[in-house]
Amino acid sequence: MEAKRLLSGKEKKIKRKEVLEKKKAIDEIIKKASSVKDHLVSFPPFCHYERNGLSVCLESGLGDQLAPPVKKYIQNLLKVNMEGPYGPEWQMEEKVKRREMVSPEAHYIFVRQSTNTTSNENLSTKSEETTYPGQTGDRNRLVGFVHYRFIVEEDIPVVYVYELQLETCTQRKGLGKFLMQLIELIARKNHMGAVMLTVQKANVLAMNFYTTKLRYVISNISPSRVDPL
Ligand SMILES: CC(=O)SCCNC(=O)CCNC(=O)[C@H](O)C(C)(C)COP(=O)(O)OP(=O)(O)OC[C@H]1O[C@@H](n2cnc3c(N)ncnc32)[C@H](O)[C@@H]1OP(=O)(O)O
């Protein structure tokens, strides 16, 4: 049996007030989290990652404060990593990503590898192979980044991971998992209800990383639930 009772004018007013108060509280949470310039400060053990032959340090950044060589680096790494999975859609997507990159809402965690921490000749060869524009000769060269934002999805404040991008030489060394753990800690500390992200179905390795390794589940509002093709 389906039953319902229409609300009186007074009840409707109370309900509307409750909804507005909830929205205001969520907006405040987002505003507060977004106003923090450097989320890494709260998690000192996450400033360095030394495992599996990898030695890197992390630093924070903001979309509207990126230096030109860093912007170039981001664009280039995105092209290297994402042109394949996006296929013919890449040209359009690249323009979208360029706009997203510099948004004042964009928070970044940059991964830098100190080139003089290794005496390994192979690594210096590798860094030559993967030299990206704007960082030739840089002693602490960039090797990856996370772009995340604090937004509201389905009335819930969430950390949305726009990009997690690592250079090939730093992949499969646990760094991606480490960065996502940091994002989850940032989410919890800032009272977010979830961590969300979008992965192209064609990006099989990343799908596997999020769903199998990190046990992320497909959201009810995912386009893939509406259009499973
Ligand atoms: C929201 C988004 O940003 S979607 C786009 C994600 N980014 C990309 O696709 C860019 C290219 N890829 C990358 O930058 C990285 O490989 C990431 C972010 C996908 C994963 O980060 P990594 O540091 O490589 O992952 P990490 O080492 O922590 O975990 C690896 C696990 O992910 C899966 N995985 C990652 N790379 C691979 C691979 N090349 N082949 C098979 N499985 C892989 C496996 O389950 C693997 O577990 P295992 O090594 O124990 O077998």
Ligand 1 pocket test: pick from 172, 200, 211 the residue with the most ligand atoms within 8 Å of its Cβ: 172
139 located within any domain: yes
Residue 225 pLDDT class (50, 70, 90 cuts): low
List the one residue out of 109, 101, 108 whose CA is nearest residue 49: 109
Residue 119 has pLDDT above 70, yes or no: no
Residues 6+ away with beta carbon under 8 Å from 133: 69, 72, 73, 76
Q: Is 118 among the domain residues?
A: yes
The whole-number pLDDT of residue 125 equals 33
The C-alpha R_g of the chain, in whole angstroms, comes to 21
Give the per-residue pLDDT at 129: 39
Q: What CATH number is attached to the domain comprising 34?
A: 3.40.630.30
CA 175 to centroid of ligand 1, rounded, Å: 9
The reply to whether 1 falls in a domain is no
Note the pLDDT of residue 116.
58
For 192, the token pair is 């977010």
Distance CA 47, CA 83 (A): 30
In the reported structure, the alpha carbon of residue 209 is separated from the centroid of ligand 1 by a whole-number distance in angstroms of: 5
In a domain, 47, yes or no: yes
d(CA 160, CA 152): 9
Q: Which residue has the higher pLDDT, 221 or 28?
A: 28
Q: Is residue 37 part of a domain?
A: yes
The answer to whether residue 3 is domain-embedded is no
Whole-number pLDDT of residue 226: 60
Q: Which of 149, 152, 146, 147 is nearest to 193 (CA)?
A: 152
Q: What is the largest CA-CA distance in the chain?
A: 77
Look-up of token digits 């964009």: 106
% of the chain beyond a pLDDT of 90 = 77
Q: Tally the domains of the chain.
A: 1
- Three-state SS string over the chain comes to CCCCCCCCHHHHHHHHHHHHHHHHHHHHHHHHHHHCCCHHHHCHHHCEEEECCEEEEEEEEEHHHCCHHHHHHHHHHHHHHHHHHHHHHHHHHHHHHHHHHCCCCCEEEEEEEEHHHCCCHHHHHHHHHCCCCCCCCCCEEEEEEEEEEEEEECCEEEEEEEEEEECHHHCCCCHHHHHHHHHHHHHHHCCCCEEEECCCCCCHHHHHHHHHHCCCCCCCCCHHHHCCC
pLDDT one-digit tens code per residue, 49-103: 999 999 999 999 999 999 999 999 999 999 999 999 999 999 999 999 999 999 9
136 part of a folded domain: yes
**186 CA → ligand 1 middle, Å:** 21
Q: What is the mean pLDDT of residues 152-160?
A: 95
Can you read off the two tokens belonging to residue 90? Answer: 């890449």
Q: Is the pLDDT of residue 174 over 60?
A: yes
Structure tokens at 122: 């192979």
Nearest CA to ligand 1 atom 37: 205
Residue 168 lies in a domain: yes
What domain range is 113 assigned to?
9-226
* Ligand 1 centroid distance, CA of 137 (Å): 27
Q: What is the mean pLDDT of the chain?
A: 89
